[in-house]
């Protein structure tokens, strides 16, 4: 559990982060979202003490981050940044093994950990281990960057706009990968982004920052349905709200028994996907399929009444 209490950062009298308190549960993904200059990156960087707070405190599993040297602290907190920050003069294996090496793991343990991570990120170890970052595609570089941050099985993974440099299609894949890997490893992740779409896709909890203050901290559905301020509402976008909300709800929520025509959707699809499929193909319901069997259907009517539920 990460506890941030009354943390403030001042630069020349200007408060970049202003009295922020929040608690992050172990094993969850918390996305901090805000415009540039909102203090979101500063907040993140105060957790691994790349910035020293002016006042306030961060506790990780009960222990204050101030109780040890910053570089010791950072070795047990993963850190992934925009533009990956890989060492261009080290191979992929050496990049991923960087933190274990700092922690003086034995060489064979580092080697097997590197291969394990490459496998996890769907990169064939024999093929990628000895390559240099310049020989990878943008998406591969980004995956190696995240793998490096996870290498020492950190208590917490901090990510600063990790997908910011990727083009939209690769970004969506990277987000899905991250979600999958997080669920598999049960990691605690705090991620900074300026993209509300990304925050809603990835976050168990979303923290919205504005001008140094934490203006709302809640589940994605709460942020969409009851924005705390005008600013949060703007971030979510008036027109986008229903669609964003539907994108959070799995088909299983409103599935009913019955039949429908046309191509089926998987159970992991959202109501937004179902709505989209209905509108595009002119159907009033789509079949839901699991393990090759049709298990039911979702109707346009059901989607509609689910969207109105928030009132």
Partner 1 sequence: MYLTPGLLFSVLGLAALMAPLMTLAANRIVAGEGVMAWDVAALPLVIPGLVAILAGLGLGLLTGRPAVRLAGGVLGLAGLIWLLVQGATAMLDGAGNYARVSPAAGFWCLLVILVLLIADALAALRPRPLARGGLLFAALAVLALVLGSGVLSELSVLQEYASRRDTFMRESLRHLSLSIGSLGAAAVIGFPLGILCHRRAQLKGATLPVLSFLQTIPSLAMFGLMIPILGWVGSTVPGARSIGIAGIGFAPAFLALVLYSLLPVVGNTVAGLASTPPAALEAARGMGMTPAQRLWQVELPLGLPIILTGLRIVLVQNIGLAVIAGLIGGGGFGTFVFQGLNQTATDLILLGALPTVVMALVAAIVMDILVDLTRHGPKDTR
Give the footprint of partner 1 on this chain (CB under 8 A).
Answer: 48, 50, 70-77, 79, 81-90, 98-99, 102, 131-135, 145, 148-149, 158
Smallest separation, CB 52 to partner 1 (Å)? 13
Q: How far apart are CA 22 and CA 47, in angstroms?
A: 12
For the CA atoms of 126, 129, 130, 134, what is the dihedral angle to 10 degrees?
120
Q: Based on CB atoms, which residue is closest to partner 1, 190 or 298?
A: 190
Asked if 120 contacts 151 with a C-beta cutoff of 8 angstroms, the reply is: no
Q: Based on CB atoms, which residue is closest to partner 1, 77 or 189?
A: 77
Q: Based on CB atoms, which residue is closest to partner 1, 62 or 88?
A: 88
Q: Give φ, ψ of 140 to 5 degrees.
A: -65, -40
Q: Based on CB atoms, which residue is closest to partner 1, 142 or 299?
A: 142
Q: Based on CB atoms, which residue is closest to partner 1, 148 or 205?
A: 148
Asked if 202 contacts 228 with a C-beta cutoff of 8 angstroms, the reply is: no
Strand (E) positions, the chain? 2-11, 14-24, 29-34, 55-60, 63-64, 77-81, 156-160, 189-193, 205-210, 213-218, 285-290, 293-299
List the end-to-end C-alpha distance of the chain, in Å, as a whole number: 33
Smallest separation, CB 192 to partner 1 (Å)? 13
Q: Is residue 124 packed enough to be buried (19+ CB in 10 Å), middle (13-18) or exposed (0-12)?
A: exposed
């Amino acid at each position: 559990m990460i506890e941030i209490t009354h943390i403030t950062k001042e630069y020349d009298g200007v408060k970049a982060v202003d009295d922020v308190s929040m608690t992050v549960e172990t094993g969850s993904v918390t996305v901090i979202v805000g415009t540039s200059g909102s203090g979101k990156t500063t907040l993140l960087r105060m957790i691994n003490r790349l910035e020293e707070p002016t006042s306030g405190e961060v506790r990780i599993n009960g222990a204050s981050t101030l109780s040890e040297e910053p570089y010791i602290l950072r070795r047990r907190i993963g850190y992934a940044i925009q533009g990956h920050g890989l060492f261009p003069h080290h191979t992929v294996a050496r990049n991923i093994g960087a933190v274990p090496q700092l922690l003086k793991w034995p060489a064979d343990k580092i080697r097997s950990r590197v291969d394990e991570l490459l496998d996890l990120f769907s990169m064939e170890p024999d093929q990628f281990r000895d390559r240099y970052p310049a020989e990878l595609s943008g998406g591969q570089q980004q995956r190696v960057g995240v793998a490096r941050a996870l290498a020492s099985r950190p208590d917490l993974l901090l990510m600063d706009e990790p997908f910011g440099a990727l083009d939209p299609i690769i970004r969506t894949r990277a987000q899905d990968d991250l979600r999958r890997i997080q669920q598999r490893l049960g990691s605690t992740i705090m991620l900074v982004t300026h993209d509300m779409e990304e925050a809603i896709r990835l976050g168990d909890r979303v923290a919205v920052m504005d001008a140094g203050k934490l203006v709302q901290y809640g589940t994605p559905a709460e942020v969409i349905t009851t924005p705390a301020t005008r600013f949060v509402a703007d971030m979510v976008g008036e027109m986008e709200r229903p669609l964003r909300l539907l994108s959070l709800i799995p088909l299983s929520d409103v599935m009913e028994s019955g039949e429908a025509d046309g191509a089926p959707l998987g159970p992991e699809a959202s109501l937004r996907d179902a709505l989209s499929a209905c509108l595009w193909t002119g159907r009033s319901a789509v079949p839901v399929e699991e393990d090759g069997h049709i298990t039911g259907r979702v109707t346009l009517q059901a989607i509609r009444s689910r969207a109105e539920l928030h009132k």
